[in-house]
Amino acid sequence: MSVILIFVEQSENRRLLAEWLGISYKVVVPDSLVQAGKAMPLLDEPFDLCILDGPALDHLWEWVQARKHKEQPVFLPFLLITIRSDVKLLTRHLWQSIDELIAKPIEKLELQARIEMLLRSRRLSLQLETALKQERELREQKSRFISMVSHEFRNPLNTIAGFTRLLEQDKLSQEKRADFFQRIQAAVRRMIALLDDVLTLSKSEANRLTSHPVGLAISPLCQKLIEEIKFSTSTGHTINFNCEDECVTVYMNEALVRHVLTNLLSNAIKYSAPDSSVELRVQCQSQAVIFQVQDEGIGITPKDQQRLFESFYRASNVGNISGTGLGLAIVKQLVERHGGTVTVKSEINVGTTFTVTLPISSEMS
């Protein structure tokens, strides 16, 4: 509902105006502004239209101009209701401050039409500013994407190119050749993982990811994922698994569960010391399964937590730890598109806990 601020000095006019406009709008009416020749303290609350009379504008014209300037480039309308003799007195302030003028006596229909036109212009201005802001964010996101892809692909490509040249040498031992091949394969896997993340994010944003629930035994699946992650990372982390309830077979999207848990467990390992522990807790309820991944890592600042799930965003304290800023954005989109939720609690240098709640499908599709 639009908010109308009224600065009308005559108390009866102020009351009638507030009662009539209060039917359709939220009306804010301060006390009299003109007392002992001084202006009362002004409200700084947001509003969509301000209605003033001549005495109010004479006292408030500097505030009016300041508020209009503060809102730029968004249009903030001011409507002056005045007698014709006031116009001459207020000419010095009028055209720098006022967007519409109505002379007394006032017809209600004309006043309503003027108010609606001003509020419509205000709404259109706000919509335009929102669209421009979204466009700027998209441009910034595109720029970050190009920069990220350039950086993330350059390193593995340099690795591949460098070790390929070394493999051209005839005097390399079999042990060296095997080591170089492993490094090349690791670089290729990093590139493939990045491409998979970009493709998954694109499909998720386009709502083209399909859901195929199957009967899953949650506990064995989690244990299998833990073994796979331990084998692929080889960092020496301890991954503890705790299933609080007896989770029987439930109908869920296996690819979704795998992707979410693999991402969260891999991040927990990546951002914590090699000798630390990571814990995966699972709680099965009648309508949902709750997964919690807790680490003892570097933690996330409250400010970073607010943007943690944005595409390409990385926390300020990650340092030289590699990453694309896509993993958590994908997790959030996948979880929410399947009707679930994901939350985070974290403390710097103490650890982080991600909680994912996924609904159980009623039947197998």
CA 93/CA 101 separation, integer angstroms = 13
Confidence band, pLDDT 50/70/90 cuts, at residue 92: low
Residue 161 has pLDDT above 70, yes or no: yes
- Burial 80-96, CB ≥16 within 10 A → b, else e: bbbeeebeeebeebbee
40 three-class SS: coil
Rounded to the nearest integer, the mean pLDDT of the chain is: 81
Pick from 87-91, 109-113, 210-214, 266-270 the range whose average pLDDT is largest: 266-270
pLDDT tens-digit series, residues 206-227: 555 556 778 888 888 899 888 8
Strands 238-243 and 277-284: parallel
334 three-class SS: helix
pLDDT tens-digit series, residues 307-347: 988 877 888 888 887 777 778 888 898 898 888 999 999 99
Question: Which pLDDT value is given to residue 95?
Answer: 64
Question: Which pLDDT value is given to residue 96?
Answer: 67
Report the range of poorest mean pLDDT among 117-121, 179-183, 287-291, 346-350: 179-183
CA 322/CA 3 separation, integer angstroms = 48
Residue 40 has pLDDT above 60, yes or no: no
Question: Which pLDDT value is given to residue 364?
Answer: 44
Q: Which residue has the tokens 């296996």?
A: 254
Strands 238-243 and 213-217: unpaired
Pick from 121-125, 157-161, 256-260 the range whose average pLDDT is largest: 121-125
Q: Which residue has the tokens 């003109």?
A: 34
Pick from 148-157, 164-173, 238-247, 302-311 the range whose average pLDDT is largest: 302-311
Pick from 39-43, 197-201, 202-206, 353-357 the range whose average pLDDT is largest: 353-357
CA 155/CA 159 separation, integer angstroms = 6
Question: Which pLDDT value is given to residue 39?
Answer: 46
Pick from 52-61, 235-244, 341-350 the range whose average pLDDT is largest: 341-350
Question: How many CB atoms lie under 10 A from the CB of residue 310?
Answer: 15
> Could you tell me which residue, 163 or 127, shows the higher pLDDT?
127
Paired tokens of 339: 């009707």
CA 262 to chain centre: 23
Percent of the chain's residues with pLDDT above 90: 22
Residue 348 has pLDDT above 70, yes or no: yes
- CB within 8 Å of 42: residues ≥ 6 apart: 30, 33, 60, 63
Residue 299 has pLDDT above 90, yes or no: yes
CA 340/CA 260 separation, integer angstroms = 12
Pick from 39-48, 66-75, 187-196, 230-239 the range whose average pLDDT is largest: 66-75
| C-alpha separations of 135 from 139, 146, 147, 236, 254 in Å | 6, 16, 18, 45, 36
CA 254/CA 212 separation, integer angstroms = 8
Mind listing the domains of the chain with CATH numbers? 3-106 (3.40.50.2300), 142-205 (1.10.287.130), 213-359 (3.30.565.10)
